Amino acid sequence: MKTKAAAIALGLALLVPQTASAETVLRVGTFLSPQGVWHGPLEHLIETVNGKDTDLKLELVADPSSISPFQLGDAVSGGVIDMAYLSGAFYTNLVPEADANKLFNVPVAELRENGAMNLIDQIHRDKMGALFLGKMGDGIKYHIYTNRSSDEPRFEGWDMRGTPLYRPFMEALGANVIQMQGSEVYSAMESGVVDGYAWPLWGIGDLGLLEVTDYRVEPGFYNAEISVLFNEDKWNSLTEEQQDTLRSSVIETEEWFIDYRNRVDEEQRRLQADAGIEAITFSEEQSQDYVRMADEAGWAVVIENSPELGPQIKELTYTDKQ
């Protein structure tokens, strides 16, 4: 880990701002491009912290143009950056249990009350030396997008772009999964190399995929979550007031996120409809089975990789609503 952190530090050295003031400037990294709807919650968090009357300031110093999303967990763990805005799928090498983040269907406010956040935080401290300060993404669903229609939620023989995040689910649906970078999906769809792909409701327009996609499968599944992680050693060096500022700002942003999510959901659905993307729907029973299959496939992987902690996380973060 130290070797990785050192290599990352070299690449970021010129990006870290220098300051002669008495302010405590915290270095922030994101796994997303700092534009568009996905950047909104991080931007709000930074503005919330920086807008308070304290000596604490957040400075965005790393994004995918300077560091791979798959290295961001190592960067915050090794202290190269102080805080990371990062999906659990990108740091399972450090915390295998982070693969469960996408499966949470209990609202984050309840997770703070029922002990789940404390458990998840302790796992992160133990395994990567980082605090789990909070999470964004409640209610932003993944969908399967495709150029082929189907009367039932089975995709036998379809070639689908996949990643480890939803490979087990796609394979359970009968699809052949082809792993590729998100930037490659457009050409793969255009040339017919794949019949479809999974992506959150938000952001397919950012990849140009509106023009090569005909259908969106309903209902959605999983949650497109983003964690807020903080280096533990750096945290311990902060004053109690600074720690309180960060905690309260994350909670404020989680609460702000609800209205933001609802507004962006509407905008993204309208954008897709205007582009001619039609919704594929199934019967109520089929839809329930479809979502249950996704959840079961996801939790099976989590519990296989973490037989002791996986069930504890599931008990606190997930309820079978079917």
- Structural domain count, the chain: 2
* Per-residue pLDDT at 36: 75
Among the listed residues 151, 156, 299, 278, the one whose alpha carbon sits nearest the alpha carbon of residue 221:
299
Residue 309 belongs to some domain of the structure: yes
The DSSP code sequence of 119-169 is HHHHHHHHHHSEEEEEEE-TT--EEEEESS--SSS--TT-EEEE-TTTHHH
Contacts of 131 (CB under 8 A, 6+ apart): 121, 124, 125, 229, 230, 231, 232, 235
Helix (H) or strand (E) holding 268: helix 240-274
Same domain, 53 and 158: no
Query: What integer pLDDT is reported at residue 7 of this predicted model?
Result: 54
In a domain, 236, yes or no: yes
Same domain, 149 and 97: no
> Residues near 322 by Cβ (< 8 Å), separated by ≥ 6?
288, 291, 292
Task: Specify if 37 maps to a domain.
Answer: yes
86 and 51 share one domain: yes
CB 70 within 8 A of CB 282: no
Say what the pLDDT of residue 183 is: 82
What pLDDT is attached to residue 12? 56
Mind listing the pLDDT tens digit of every residue in the chain (322 residues)?
A: 555 555 555 455 445 544 445 789 999 999 988 877 889 999 999 999 999 988 999 999 999 999 999 999 999 999 999 999 999 999 999 999 999 999 999 999 999 999 999 999 999 999 999 999 999 988 899 999 999 999 999 999 999 998 888 899 999 999 999 988 888 999 999 999 999 999 999 989 988 999 999 999 999 999 999 999 999 999 999 999 999 999 999 999 999 999 999 999 999 999 999 999 999 999 999 999 999 999 999 999 999 999 999 999 999 999 986 5
Which residue is it, tokens 């952190």?
5
The count of residues in the chain is: 322
Give the pLDDT score at 282: 96
Residues 113 and 193 reside in one and the same domain = no
Q: What is the rounded CA–CA span in Å between residue 79 and residue 149?
A: 48
**Quick one: pLDDT at residue 254?**
95
Residues 6+ positions from 55 with CB-CB distance below 8 Å:
22, 23, 24, 242
Do residues 103 and 245 both lie within one domain? yes
Residues 91 and 206 reside in one and the same domain? no
Do 195 and 240 lie in one domain? The reply is no
Together in a domain, 158 and 60 = no
pLDDT in tens, 14-54: 455 444 457 899 999 999 888 778 899 999 999 999 999 88
CB 101 within 8 A of CB 135: yes
Residue 171 lies in a domain: yes
- Same domain as 240, residue 126: yes
Domain presence at residue 88: yes
Whichever domain contains 292, its CATH number is: 3.40.190.170
Q: What span, in angstroms and rounded, lies between the C-alpha atoms of 319 and 322?
A: 9
229 & 212 share domain: no
Is position 272 within any domain? no
Q: Tell me how far CA of residue 124 lies from CA of 93, 118, 273, in angstroms.
A: 12, 10, 40
Q: Is residue 273 part of a domain?
A: no
* Rg of the chain on CA atoms, in Å: 20
Q: pTM for this structure?
A: 0.88
- Whether 318 maps to a domain, the answer reads no
Question: Do 126 and 237 have their domain in common?
Answer: yes
Residues 11 and 26 in one domain: yes
Range of the domain at 292: 142-222+282-313
